[in-house]
Amino acid sequence: MASDDSLSPWPGGLSDAARSVWAKHDRDMGGWLPLWRHMADSAAVAGRLWDEWLPRQVRRLVADALPDGAADARRLAVWLAATHDVGKATPAFACQVEELAGTMRRAGLDMPLYKQMPDRKYAPHGLAGQVLLQQWLTERHGWSKRETLPFTIVAGGHHGVPPTQADISNLTRYPDLLRTPRCEDVWRGVQDELLDTAAAVCGVAERLGEWRQTRLPQPVQVVLTALVIVADWIASNPDLFPYFPDGCATDPERIDTAWSRLDLPRPWQAVEPEEEPAALFAARFDLPPGAAVRPTQEEAVRLAREMPAPGLMIIEAPMGEGKTEAALAVAEIFAARSGAGGCFIALPTMATGNAMFPRMLDWLGRLPDQRAEPGAHSVFLAHSKAALNEKYTELARQGPTRIADVDRDGAEDEWRYQADERVASAELVAHHWLRGRKKGMLSSFVAGTIDQLLFAGLKSRHLALRHLAVAGKVVVIDEAHAYDTYMNSYLDRVLSWLGAYGVPVAVLSATLPARRRRELVEAYTGSTVTDTDLAQVEKADGYPLLTGAAPQAAPRMSLPAASGRGIDVRVERLDDDLDVLADRLDEELGEGGCVLVVRNTVDRAHQAAQRLRQRFGSDHVTVAHARFVDLDRVENDAALLATFGPPEKVAEAGGKRPGKHIVVASQVVEQSLDVDFDLLVSDLAPVDLLLQRMGRLHRHQRGEEQSERPARLRTARCLVTGVNWTAEVPEPVRGSRLVYRDYPLLRSLAVLEPHFAGTAQTGGTVRLPDAISPLVQAAYGSESVGPATWQEALEKARYDHEVHQSEQRVKAEDFLLDKVKKPGRALTGWVDAGVGDADDTRKGAAQVRDSRESLEVLVVQRRVDGVLTTLPWLSKNRGGLELPTDAVPPAWLARTVAASALRLPYQFGFPKVLDQAIAELEAECVPAWQTKESHWLAGELILILDENCRSRLAGYGLRYTRTDGLEVHRDN
């Protein structure tokens, strides 16, 4: 194959007519770029991307599909990039700029005026290019149309949406859009000339005959489409590739200069660790003094090494067992063997994503790399509030240069810093080009919300980019039990594609139902694992449990020894009455102690906190939930960790565990928050979630046999409330039923019934972690549970639950990506009837979560004198700052307002209320903040609180305080 630096016969061998065809035009500056030049640039960029940026895992996927392996794979990628815009050599495209069209007419390529081509919408240049390539392959190289489709669909889909069969059929009715009839031969000659030249330059002319027999798999079509999109975006950037009509095509400086300025970090090249697990974990993680590797971690490393190929590993182990560290060690082994160039860690929420990001960076800083001269690793925090994360924005400033965003279909560059804020690049960078909602996931190392992974199963524009982003990584899915049927529909579909790509995956859960374990394995392995093997996966008994599965191989199950870190939790019923709660805690805290009270709704948390403050005083009661502005919530989480976290972390933070304190929280404390309490009071929840909450009890050793805890609280206890215990069948409170539905709650009650204090079978205790798997499997199994008198209510609840699950699955199908089709089937109509653009906004998240679109506002205050200010209590000198209303606030001040975002609760998700709220908020907008210069504030809704931090919105009274967050009351 000809090298990228020797691009002859570009343009010397081309006719004047072919040289006159234009591809790019700058209306402001008047510059233009000929098509041949853009074809050459795109091919050269694709070659560099293939050689220096694309992970080996992706390159091998393509190579395995082609007869000459790696050599064919590179040739094909470069050729597809060279030819992707050949559809611009058509009258439908060329007529758009009259000056350039005139030049083409003088060269013999006659065409109508723009206004004389009303049907040109049927020939977008991507689709036109696909048709031209099909005709060239069939007419000049003997391919059938069916054989061409898996190759030519790349050109058709390079703007994010592969054409449908209807699109192709429609274009056949308008042949004059591809070639002007009176000079059809001239047009055809130029099109063939450009394609012949591309084939010769890219070294594919002699390979086309053999490729004709290749049944290109859909996953290969996807990653090649994505690679071409990236190459096109880079080659279309005038900052990197200046526009000019002429120039030396063989000049290597053009591509060398552009590539040097772009400075894309190379992918990670993992070195397979050979150390024993103890040494490996000591080298990679900041372990506490004297800490030893745990059996689950040791067994995960062993299983990863013994699996026949990198694949899916499910790690089921108790809370606090170091599952994340085990998964990262597995990721390192898998990446070295598969050629993955990075890692994506998917978590349930933004808060857990933020917490994971510095942990990922610490691990990344200790990883070896096969590259002789290791460069910077690109990192990304993947959620909609990443720009407000201080750790991430610190890395984002470290790029020494800044290239303009070349995604012309996306939003403007979201990163704007003063020149003096930029510092020299570091080994970890949030790369200047790899930012934004479409490109950020292409970074090598990513931590973010599960939504970002689920988007890979959502029919949406530029879906191929999302697939390329995960196809080259190891994927870690944390808290896998936290997703409902709707989300699991997307997760399973994504897993099926990850399996087809050969992406290694680690799934983590403390409380995974056996049926769900089987579904995960089945989704990943597809039809390559037998029903008998899947049945064995579901029947596997024991805890902790590791399951390893790779396509074409029988799954392997492993039962590591328990770590010995067990506790007995005494479980008791507690009446759902605030006075009863206060009296009980008054009794329990006679000698002091720290209590966690978990409520299933924010309203119930507010009610409990109010009553407990009356009894214990405001200084002894803290509230934690999701209804705080972002800045307050971050500080709340930090304060919880600094006060109730591991003893060594509390000491490092300079904090001190209080003698007596009560934290009233919603589910925000349930996942990925390492806090430790003496006593737990929890609303009834599905048993897996209730067990997660129990994991916050006596989580760390505090003195020998917990001697540093108050004597009365040295035995771990969980008081279960939120239930009418006097009913014939206990009735969960309405709020809990709305959140979780009746059936999971009743099954939870049924399996816990023998464990409540006073029963003979268990002595009133739940042994953790021994009881976790038996309780979860019983609650989510099909066997009858609970007293005979409950069975009628359970059966009705089961029926309602199954109807709801069925409705969720049907609803998910609306925009769910199709399964991987057999090799040779083209991506035609791949995202047909999709959602358009999908991103990590609340609207985008609502597509992959069964939830209403929620309303987010930025919260400010209006003083008595009418001046708008930031919220008065904000730390770091950000509170009470005056906000100009006749001009755009300075960037640092606007960023503070943007970080005061608040998601309004469910009351504002009903359509009529939502519409009314938006209308009222828009009426309060500040016009000066809506300009394009107002990057942080333009388009945002502002909630203005009065001097008492109150407001009214859509018939509701709102009150916001630093202690309690947002409270909502219906206006009378």
pLDDT at 837: 66
Q: What is the pLDDT of residue 406?
A: 37
pLDDT score at 426: 29
pLDDT score of 122:
95
For residue 606, CA distances in Å to 127, 600, 689 come to 57, 11, 21
Q: Residue 808 has what pLDDT? A: 86
The reported pLDDT for the residue numbered 634 is: 87
Dist. CA 93–CA 23, nearest whole Å: 9
Mean of pLDDT values over 727-748 = 96
More confident residue, 413 or 625: 625
Q: CA-CA distances (angstroms) from residue 382 to 348, 453, 455?
A: 12, 10, 12
Domains belonging to the chain, first-starting first, are 16-261 (1.10.3210.30), 277-374+441-558 (3.40.50.300), 567-722 (3.40.50.300), 852-970 (no CATH)
pLDDT value of residue 418: 27
pLDDT for the residue 809? 86
Q: What is the CA radius of gyration of the chain?
A: 30
407-440: per-residue pLDDT in tens? 333 332 222 222 222 222 224 545 555 656 678 8
Of the candidates 55, 479, 556, the one whose C-alpha atom is nearest the C-alpha of residue 305 is 556
Q: What are phi and psi of 26, to 5 degrees?
A: -105, 105
Contacts of 189 (CB under 8 A, 6+ apart): 15, 17
Three-state DSSP class for residue 471: helix
Q: Are 474 and 328 a contacting pair, CB within 8 Å?
A: no
Q: Are 961 and 949 spatial neighbours (Cβ–Cβ below 8 Å)? A: yes
Span 874-878, mean pLDDT? 91
Band of the pLDDT at 377, cuts 50, 70, 90?
confident
Mean pLDDT across 751-756: 92
Under 8 Å between Cβ of 947 and 862: yes
Q: How far apart are CA 939 and CA 104, in angstroms?
A: 43
Q: What does the alpha-carbon distance between residue 64 and residue 559 come to, in Å, rounded to a whole number?
A: 35
Top pLDDT among 288 and 807 is at 807
Angle CA 955–957–959, to nearest 5:
155
pLDDT digits (tens, 9 = 90+) for 307-317: 999 999 999 99
Band of residue 836 on the pLDDT scale cut at 50, 70, 90: low
Is the pLDDT confidence value at 564 over 50?
Answer: yes
Supply the pLDDT for residue 417.
Answer: 24
Chain centroid to CA 74: how far? 29
Which whole number is the average pLDDT over 507-531? 94
pLDDT tens figures, 253-270: 889 999 999 888 889 999
Residue 654's pLDDT band (boundaries 50, 70, 90)? confident
Q: Looking up tokens 């098509």, which residue turns up?
A: 35
Asked whether residue 147 carries a pLDDT value surpassing 90, the answer given is yes
Judging by DSSP bridges, how do beta strands 474-477 and 343-347 pair with one another?
parallel
As a whole number of Å, the end-to-end CA separation of the chain is 78
Average pLDDT of the chain, as a whole number:
88
Identity of the highest mean pLDDT range in 77-91, 671-685, 770-784: 77-91
Percent of the chain at pLDDT > 70 equals: 90
Do residues 443 and 430 lie in contact, with contact meaning Cβ atoms separated by under 8 Å?
A: yes
The pLDDT confidence band at residue 292, using thresholds 50, 70 and 90, is confident
Burial environment of residue 142 by CB neighbours within 10 A (0 to 12, 13 to 18, 19 or more): exposed
| Alpha helices (H) in 263-294, listed in sequence order | 277-284
Say yes or no to pLDDT of 250 above 60. Answer: no
What does the pLDDT look like over 920-950, one tens digit per residue? 999 999 999 998 788 889 889 999 999 999 9
pLDDT at 531: 93
252 or 174, which is more confident: 174
Tokens linked to 564: 């010995």
Task: Tell me the DSSP string of 174-231.
Answer: -GGGTS-GGGHHHHHHHHHHHHHHHHHHHT-TTTHHHHTT----HHHHHHHHHHHHHH
The pLDDT tens digits for 29-73 are 778 999 999 999 999 999 999 999 999 999 999 999 999 999 999
What are the pLDDT digits (tens) for 151-196?
999 999 999 999 999 999 999 999 999 999 999 999 999 999 999 9
In this prediction, residue 432 carries a pLDDT of 58
The answer to whether residues 554 and 533 touch, using CB atoms and an 8 Å cutoff, is yes
**pLDDT at residue 610 is higher than 70:** yes
Query: Distance between CA atoms of 89 and 139, rounded to whole angstroms?
Result: 18
Average pLDDT over residues 542-550: 95
Whether pLDDT at 478 is above 70: yes
For position 265, what pLDDT does the model report? 87
Query: Is the pLDDT assigned to residue 96 strictly greater than 50?
Result: yes
